[in-house]
Chains A and B, each alone.
Chain A
Amino acid sequence: MSRYFEKSVAITGFGQSKLYRKPTVYPFNLATDACLLAIEDAGLTPADIDGIACWPGTQVGVGHGNSSASTTDLKNSLGLKLNWYSSGTGPAQYASIVNAIGAIAAGYCNHVLCYRAEGERWVPTYGRAFADGSMPVASGFQEWMLPYWAPSAANWIGLHADLHMRETGISREQMAMIPINQRKNAALNPNAVYREPLSLDEYMSSRIITTPFCIYDCDVPIDGSAAVVISRLDAARDLRQKPLRFEAVGCALHDHESWFGRSDWPNMALNDAAKMMWDRTDLKPADVDTAHLYDGFTWLTILWLEALGLTKRGETGAFLEGGKRIALDGELPLNTNGGQLSEGRLHAFNHLGEAIRQLRGQAGERQVKDVNVSVCGAGGGVFGASLLLTRD
């Protein structure tokens, strides 16, 4: 057995709920849908699931908001008999998966259910939440942001983009190729919230959120959920789907956990994660057939491309120019489901779902030919995690 134990862990099931732009179905029910769909996709039943993990997932008894299904409430709903369970902070939006791989490698579990549950549309957030002139308490890492009216990651990442764009010359026109390409992909994805084409003119004339980002650089908040079943590889090979393997995981944090205080700023935690991932495999960036990279903001996709060595810092703008290289038939098909910018914000779990479909050959009209290796990246700023997936 390799010393890199993720190589003996498989992905066996994936499920995704319906996604809603407006409050429609109570978000906890959407998380339950996603979990049951993932278990069924694997050819398992809830009785087979012996582990559950969620990031961040700590609000017991609350089925809405930015973590709309606790492991406690889901365990009780699904009647699971657990050997292991985990929720809370960790390596970005893939913390549950990183942790579940560890639980399987340690022999605690055979099949772990990992999920992300989004219910932020159910309750008012910024703008509507403070329409009465009230102000939130500045706590946690937001202590250093909120007193300056900088509540959004768009603001923090906007500062990063300002520096990087001045240093490397990436233009807004080049950045626009990410959302424009993803809308083309979303046209082929019936689950996507936005499927109409986006033109460069529409992008350039749309309203600015915080410079240099316009509305099309920001992902689409939705109520919805996605779940994945992670299994011991030797318990995965006789299930419903052909298993996919974790070739390598990156989840490192080698400097201050801080948006601006890293000694190597403007590097982010995602640079640590990407390096760790490539250190654990013989595969190289050139082996990647499809990339599914976090797009909470387009800027994070650019940073993931560079961190993973798929493009070089200083050359990413030229790589994106015209959009052909990142198209479905390009040299590096990127965010082939439309990503969070078009399908909706499922915090990298819909990116993972799309990687699974592409590797299984189940992506329908948007299937890329001969996909053997896919990479997923989640997060930015203080945390990051990446997954290199292959067919078994």
Chain B
Amino acid sequence: MPPRPLPVINEMNQHFWCGGADGRLHIQQCAACKTWHHPYVAACSACRSRDLAPQPVSGRGTILAVTINHQPWFPSVPVPYALALVELEEQRDIRLMTNIQGLEADAVKPGLAVKVCFEQHGDIFVPLFEPA
């Protein structure tokens, strides 16, 4: 597996990048109105509540759009590879840039149902998706 650029973990992103240790994807949710937020907010932009906490989501989603990258931005990463935008089933505007495991690049298509999986790098569990 080629290396990935990784984030520095802090209080705002820990649930997303490290939460996969339990096999589930964690997204911040407003306890008052149940709106999901990604990335981190300190107040709910829908109802202004300050009562927010990361919660596990189903991990299911749909591929909205695909681009097949041919440019060797990182020479250690073989090209071409697919980049997919996945919309989580919980909420329309929680959309994640991601890679799709288990498919050749040209088999990654809009409309495909996917579920989350993880690739571990130390304490970080990078959320990826695979066909559902």
Contacts and interface: CB of A to CB of B under 8 A. Distances in A.
Say if A and B assemble together. Answer: yes
Interface of A: 126-127, 130-131, 133, 135-139, 142-152, 154-156, 158-163, 166, 207-212, 256, 259-263, 265
Nearest to B38: A261
10 residue pairs, one from A and one from B, having the closest CB atoms? A158-B67, A146-B5, A260-B95, A126-B73, A133-B76, A159-B65, A162-B65, A163-B65, A210-B69, A135-B5
Contacts of B77: 149
B95 A150 contact: no
A363 to B, nearest CB: 34
A130 B65 contact: no
A149 B67 contact: no
Given A152-B71, A159-B65, 6 more contacts: A138-B5, A143-B39, A144-B39, A147-B5, A210-B71, A263-B93
B81 A149 contact: yes
Interface in B1-57: 2-8, 13, 38-39, 45
Interface of B: 2-8, 13, 38-39, 45, 64-77, 81, 83-85, 92-99, 110, 126
A139 B7 contact: yes
Nearest to A215: B71
- Of B8, B71, B72, B94, chain A has the most CB atoms within 10 Å of the CB of B71
A144 B39 CA distance: 9
B26 to A, nearest CB: 15
A261 B37 CA distance: 9
B82 to A, nearest CB: 9
Contact of A144 (B64, B70, B71, B96): B96
Main SS class of interface, B: loop
B6 A137 contact: yes
A210 B74 contact: no
Given A130-B76, A149-B77, A209 B71 contact: yes
Contact of B110 (A142, A144, A156, A163): A163
Q: Which of A147, A163, A265 has the most CB of B within 10 A?
A: A147
B83 A137 contact: no
Contact of A149 (B4, B38, B45): B4
Given A138-B5, A261-B95, A208 B74 contact: no
A147 B74 contact: no
26 contacts: A127-B71, A127-B72, A130-B73, A133-B3, A135-B6, A135-B74, A136-B5, A139-B8, A147-B126, A149-B2, A149-B69, A149-B83, A150-B97, A151-B73, A155-B67, A159-B83, A159-B85, A160-B65, A162-B66, A162-B67, A166-B110, A209-B69, A210-B69, A260-B85, A261-B93, A265-B93
* Best-buried of A126, A142, A166, A211 by chain B (most CB within 10 Å): A211
Contact of B93 (A148, A151, A207, A262): A262
A131 B75 CA distance: 6
B74 A126 contact: yes
A209 B71 CA distance: 5
Interface centre among B3, B65, B66, B95 (most CB of A within 10 A): B65
Contacts of A133: 3, 75-76
Contacts of B45: 256
A133 B4 CA distance: 10
A265 B64 CA distance: 11
Contact of A145 (B70, B76, B97): B97
B3 A135 contact: yes
Contacts of B39: 143-144
B7 A210 contact: no
A174 to B, nearest CB: 19
Contacts of B3: 133, 135
Select the residue from A138, A150, A161 with max chain B CB neighbours within 10 A: A150
Contacts of B74: 126, 130, 135, 149, 151
Contacts of B93: 256, 261-263, 265
Contacts of A261: 38, 93-95
Nearest to A211: B68
A207 B99 CA distance: 22
B99 A148 contact: yes
Contacts of A127: 71-73, 75
Contacts of B95: 260-261, 265
A163 B70 contact: no
A161 B110 CA distance: 13
A210 B38 CA distance: 26
Nearest to A144: B97
A142 B72 CA distance: 17
Given A137-B8, A260-B95, A265-B95, A159 B76 contact: no
